[in-house]
Amino acid sequence: MIVEGYNCGPMRLASRTELGPYEIQSLLGAGGMGEVYRAKDTRLGRDVAIKVLPEKLARDAERLRRFEIEARAIAALNHPNILSIHDIGTHEGVAYLISECLEGQSLRMELSGGAFPWRRVVDYGIQIAQGLAAAHDKGIVHRDLKPENVFVTRDGRVKILDFGVAKLVQPESSVEDGATMDAGPTSSGVVLGTVGYMSPEQVKAEPADARSDIFALGMILYEMLSGQRAFKRETSAETMTAILKEDVPELSPTGKPVPAALERIIRRCLEKKPLQRFQSARDLAFNLEGLSGTSSTSTSGAYGVALEYATKKNSRKQAMTLAAGLLLLAFIGAGSWLLGARSSSVAPLAYHQLTFDRGLVYAARFAGEGPAIYYSASWNGEPVQLYSTQPDTPESRPLNLVNSTLFAVSPSQLAISIGCKDRYIGLCQGTLGLVPLAGGTPREVANDVLAADWSL
């Protein structure tokens, strides 16, 4: 990592010192859990970052155990928003961790310039939440999430750093790939984390889970948006008391426009009781993604987050009536166009072929203003699934959502039918799901849905 403006003090390892196959070049940063150096991997000829424990801590069995936990925790994760770990080792009593070498600065350094535009807050928030979701899926809770442990690369990629005080919890169902790990329980009554970003349960030295990370992310979102720490007080004791008992101040004292939906999201992250927060980082990321296309401070979120849909309870007859009405409108529109075309000098429409397989297309929609097009189709007898394409390319990209058809498209999400069956003139009965435009795991909304569209 290249950390700008970090006053690290004297360097413990001199330049050109060798740790195994790694040659130290310069000191990048230092913190409570170790020092970070830029180094050269002499085997592969690449730049890496080396984190080493301070000598006095390397002799501390508990600190060494936590260092090893950090290495195992991060190495088990493979996600673009989490620092990648390449290696771990010891050399002449020095324990070290090898990671990718990043160029950019910490979120703390970026915050030194003041509050961010809300769209950047949403962008960073989505990336952090997605990284946390990947860690939580493996049973890893960070427990020390703060701007110092978030890195922003020069191309805008956000990376979560330092799982040094991570608590590994056993997920509900174990996995076979060895990515789920156990660790000894933290001593009862020991508070781990950073005071200004602790959740209420951490302040009280109670068990922390994924929702504690969500609270910390809420603090970071608040700080990015307002330029101020949510519960900053004169002393640590006063800060912890504020976290436990006080409401977070208003988000926009400067009068800058802030989407009401974003403020609600942040306040939900900062609920005192874990049960009242988002219950998963993936749900938080999903809600933030819904704001990525918002153009005003309306409370409805992107494109009117609400969906209107017809379900089986509304009867199949109602859905068929809707389909027939839409078809009738299409015929009327086509007839009007043909009559108008005969009596005007408008140039005839030009057609451009977008698909080249044989099959049936069930629905197609432009994404916002275009040019991306999303559609569902069954090609060459294969199961129906979702695709995206661009007018200037002959290739369609499958979204890996098999047995799904498209209902509607907003600027940031797709409304789809999952496990659809019994199609009627483009209608399909299945589970209504929402999924980001880039694809991913759908979020299920309602069962037995026959039709859906965005409420403008």
Could you identify the residue written with the tokens 């009559």? 339
Residue 67 · residue 97 · CB < 8 Å = yes
Tell me: the pLDDT tens digits for 137-162? 988 899 889 999 999 999 899 999 88
Is residue 303 within 8 A of residue 456, CB to CB? The reply is: yes
Token pair 């060459």 in the structure block, residue: 380
Please check the confidence at residue 374 and state whether its pLDDT lies above 70: yes
Peptide bond into 147 cis (omega under 30): no
Look up residue 187 and give its two tokens.
Answer: 């001593």
**How many whole angstroms separate alpha carbon 236 and alpha carbon 23?**
40
What residue spans in the chain does CATH classification 3.30.200.20 cover?
18-100
What the block records as the tokens of 380 is 């060459």
User: What's the rounded mean pLDDT across residues 298-310?
Assistant: 45
Query: Residue 154's pLDDT is what?
Result: 92
Separation in Å, CA 438 to CA 16, 114, 128, 381, 412? 44, 31, 17, 25, 9
Q: Which of 105, 83, 115, 86 is nearest to 156 (CA)?
A: 105
pTM over 0.85: no
User: pLDDT tens for residues 222-238?
Assistant: 999 999 998 888 888 89
The SS3 assignment for 312 reads: helix
The proportion of the chain whose per-residue pLDDT surpasses 90, expressed as a percent, equals 25
Of the pLDDT bands very low, low, confident and very high (cuts 50, 70, 90), residue 319 is low
Average pLDDT, the chain: 76
For the cut 50, the answer to whether the pLDDT of residue 178 exceeds it is: no
CB atoms within 10 A of CB 337: 12
The ranges of the chain annotated as CATH 1.10.510.10 are 105-172+179-289
User: Under CATH, what is the fold of the domain 105-172+179-289?
Assistant: Transferase(Phosphotransferase); domain 1 (1.10.510)
Confidence at 2, pLDDT banded by 50, 70, 90: very low
Mean pLDDT to the nearest integer, 368-374: 71
pLDDT score for 93: 76
Q: Output the 3-class SS for 71-133.
A: HHHHHCCCCCCECCEEEEEEECCEEEEEEECCEEEEHHHHHCCCCCCHHHHHHHHHHHHHHHH
Of 165, 162, 126, 142, the residue nearest 212 (C-alpha) = 142
Reported as a pLDDT band with limits 50, 70 and 90, residue 332 is low
Pairing of strands 404-409, 396-402: unpaired
- CA nearest neighbour of 319 among 201, 240, 422, 247: 422
According to DSSP, the residues that pair with 451 across neighbouring strands are: 310
Q: Which fold has domain 18-100?
A: Phosphorylase Kinase; domain 1 (3.30.200)
Where in the sequence numbering do the catalytic residues fall? 144
Reported as a pLDDT band with limits 50, 70 and 90, residue 456 is: low
Q: What percent of the chain has pLDDT over 70?
A: 71
